[in-house]
Structure 1
Amino acid sequence: MMRVNYYKELSADYSRPGLISEDMKRQLIELGEKIVSKKEATLPEINEDYTLEQIEKENKEWWPTHCEALRQGRGDILTDEYREDLVYFCQDGPYRGLEQQQEREQHWWALIAQPGVTMVWPIVMFYAEHTFFEWKCLDNETNETIAKGNVTWVRRGHRGGCYLKTEQLTFYRDVFAPENLLKLIKVA
């Protein structure tokens, strides 16, 4: 069986802890803020001026910024990655728009970005406007997996953002974050 380095064409490797320098973390957050500011009010058409190849290239550029935003609990960036008319399918959903899943997702973000835990994405694949990934959160002390899942985003590049998200997630230790962890998540 052929082994694949899913990060070989990307600017940063989030497949395991400890691979991202402080300078790169800062750069990725700045880039993430710039990327979400490019989202247009209307979902852009796919055509000869905005091709699937361009969209896939933009999704590959975006991916490391998404990972760093999650690790840093930047719920403001994470929310801005979504379109206003987001459709989100998960075991608690379906959710439509940005408000239905907001409280629930804030708990998830707080748990996966809590101190002493590192989120990693060992697998990420891109095809046109589709991004599939598997993730897990590791306890830094025990190396225990505290949560894991797999996700598919349908994201129309920087100009469109994510309009469909499907997710299967499993939390092993906690499902709701305590108040002290919720306070660590930056919201818009």
Structure 2
Amino acid sequence: MNDKNNKIPFNEDNYTHNIDRNNERRLDRRGFMKTLVGAAGVFAISSLPWGAVAAKELMGLGDKEYPHKKITDVKAIPIGNAVDFKFPGEHDDAILIRLSEDKYVAYQSACTHLRCPVFWEKEKGEMICPCHHGKFDVNTGAPTAGPPRRPLPEIQVQVENGAVYAVRVKRYEV
């Protein structure tokens, strides 16, 4: 036999010589837990910016005024009537109700129970959700009957130059 072929091609003190190739891919419980904790830490740190944005929004620090949106002309809405509109976005249904000569109220018109549409019944003077017979107070948006427990989000309106404008969505107060 030739000893020349059985020789190790590098010095014995080479740092790659001490790798245990048979157990190279074995992961013990401690290694698994370190990997798991490391991954959880990476996910937690990467979500901090979004958590800060959400906390700011929930705490009411991000009070945002939207571009004023014209809803209707004052002369186009008689006292006691309502107008449907979209605010703040094109997919956010809302309703404006003229209660008196100078008093207008507006709310997002998705029921706070299951997001069904809320309608104004002029004859009864009530805001009604037909899905589960929910009713809301027209002056405050607070629920008065049915399963809804939270008031409708109020939209602040402003009358300028003979027109009614939506200005901002009022924050829900606990």
TM-score bracket for the superposition, by shorter chain length: under 0.3
**Is the radius of gyration larger for structure 1 or structure 2?**
2
Instruction: With a CA cutoff of 8 Å and minimum separation of 6, indicate the structure with the bigger relative contact order.
Output: 1
* Higher share in helix: 1
